[in-house]
Amino acid sequence: MSKPTHDIHPVCKMRSGIVCLSLLLGFALIGCRLFYLQVLQSDAGAHEVQRQHQKSQMVQSDRGVIVDRHGHPLALNVDVPSVFVNPKSLEDPEKTARDLAPVVDMGVAQLRKLFKNSQSRVRLTRDISGERAKQVEAMAISGVEVIRSPQRFYPKKELGSHILGFAGDDNQGLEGVEFHYESFLRGEKSLVRYQRDALGGVISSLNDPDSTSHLTGYHVTLTIDEVIQFIAEEELAKAVKQSDAKSGTILIMDPMTGGILAWALYPTFDPNDFRRLAAKDWRNWAVTDPYEPGSTLKIVVAAAALEEGLMEPDTLIYGGDGQMPVAGTIVHDHAKSSWITFTEAVAHSSNVGVIKVALKLGEPRMFEYLKAFGFGQKTGIDLSGESAGILREPHDWSGRSLSSLAMGQEIAVTPVQMVTAMSVVANGGWLMTPHVVSSVVDGRGNSVHLNKAKPKRRPISTQTADRLTHILETVVESGTGQRAKLIGYRAAGKTGTSQKIDPNTGAYSSSSVIASFVGFVPVEQPRLTMLVVIDDPEEETLRWGGASAAPVFGNVANRVLPHLGILPGGAQLIRTASSSPNLSSKQVRVP
């Protein structure tokens, strides 16, 4: 008996076909979608993946470092931790305030108030110590984080502070070289790319190392010598304290280049703590505040008389027994004298003698030489806030002005003007442009700015400079500057003692003075010009430039010259004070 045959119902066949067709259509759609994503949209997909795992943002480059002429760092950056909070992310603000208060050295009530801030990030404290920052991080409080950011740091503290200046909380230069060279030190904003993990954390940088070499401000090299700066500051501090003076200044210049080797002011300050100070505490008065120079200005009168052929070193001048009538008043010398030579008049700082020379010179030529030596105008030094000093036009002079100017009165000069003027004699007759920065280099070491020796003009000839040098050497050997004498070195210079104006009477004070000495050494081949100013010494025996300022010149020079490789007698070991060629006064030429 045969088995019965069961035929598949037509409806079932149709359903099976529909299912198979649907499956085929689904696979076809999936294939098309895959083809679209994998082939047609491959670039867009890769870009989306890259967007999720890579991030780019503009960042401000680190501030460039400042170093002395030998590469010793004077200003650099350190990462300083600060504590921030996101008030909206705090789970228990009250407990957080109690826990954080002793660590961040703030009151609980103060923290509660900050936690009510609507901003997404609030700074609780800056410059927290590394140990306390670790304590905050160990608490692992949601909404509280420690962020480390670069801040300016001055490793030598007070050393060279008035030249360096300082940068503020946002790393922006506010004073000194930090301010004047801000455009170089700050650097530029740059695009930085980095890879992120699934939680958004940074894994690594995707920038080419060569492309990120510029991610720092340019580095600045000063003309300042760290060792010379230290010597100058140490000797100045001792002199100011010994004389019980108000303040003091020492500027040391390479007369051949105009480069400043040391810039010492006392009292000084620590630029790391500038926020606690008033402006008067960090003002760079050697470039901003003019003063009456007194007898140091007689170098200009002497130079002009020699250059114009009005005087020879042995020309005789009648000293008038130490007094001379001028415009209804009597000018006195410290010592009576009858006939003296021009050299003796300068060496012993005779007011009568130099006034008679100035009268022969006349007002027009006197004014001309004062301007030629750089007075009444800015030197062009690469520091901000420079004063031009005070030099009135001859039509504003009185009948006494020519005589007063010969003694360094009725004129105000800045210390940087004075040391630059003396360098004219030291280098053979050229007025140089002083500068405190020698070069600026980028992150790759390429020079982007270079300060070379820049002669402005030639006020006097080499012959005049040589003859005046011999006269100024007698100031140190047998004149008012004998206490500036060095052991084994020949020096030349000029003392000055000027009365300060009494603000109450408007007349010259009988007790308040500025004592100074300006000179250069060695005479055979000058390597440094130095100005020492002691402001308002109270000690009676030290109220003269020859008594308080001249010894400082000698002390500093005796310590600095061996550092420069100059042996007693003029022998030279090596030249370390300047990267420029060793030019004699006869080798300096206007480019």
Residues marked as catalytic:
295
Tokens of 64: 């460039």
- Please enumerate in sequence order all residues whose Cβ is within 8 A of that of 242, keeping only pairs 6 or more positions apart, or say none: 539, 542
Peptide bond into 394 cis (omega under 30): no
Q: How far apart are CA 497 and CA 515, in angstroms?
A: 5
Looking at this protein, which amino acid is placed at residue 564? L
Stretch (H or E) spanning 56: strand 54-60
The SS3 of residue 175 is strand
Q: How far apart are CA 225 and CA 67, in angstroms?
A: 10
Phi, psi of 495 (to 5 degrees): -85, 160
Contact of 154 with 74, CB cutoff 8 Å: yes
Instruction: Give the CA-trace dihedral at 355, 357, 359, 363, to 10 degrees.
Output: -100
Q: How far apart are CA 171 and CA 123, in angstroms?
A: 17
> What's the sign of the alpha-carbon dihedral 254, 259, 261, 267?
positive
* Residue 40: DSSP 8-state: I
Question: Residue 79 CB: number of other CB atoms within 10 A?
Answer: 12
Looking at this protein, which amino acid is placed at residue 81? P
Contact of 82 with 127, CB cutoff 8 Å: yes
What secondary structure does DSSP assign to 420-465, as a single string?
HHHHHHHTTS-EE--BSEEEEE-TTS-EEEE----EEE-SS-HHHH
Helices 298-307 and 363-372 meet at what angle, rounded to 10? 110
Q: Say how far residue 88 (Cα) sits from the centre of its chain.
A: 44
Contact of 261 with 577, CB cutoff 8 Å: yes
* Residue 291: DSSP 8-state: B
Contact of 296 with 516, CB cutoff 8 Å: yes
Tokens of 136: 């905050």
Burial 253-289 (b: 16+ CB within 10 A, else e): bbbbbbbbbbbbbbebbbbeebeeeeeeebbbbbbeb
Length of the chain: 591
Tokens of 42: 């491959």
Q: How many CA atoms lie within 13 A of 221 on its CB side?
A: 20
Q: How far apart are CA 264 and CA 534, in angstroms?
A: 12
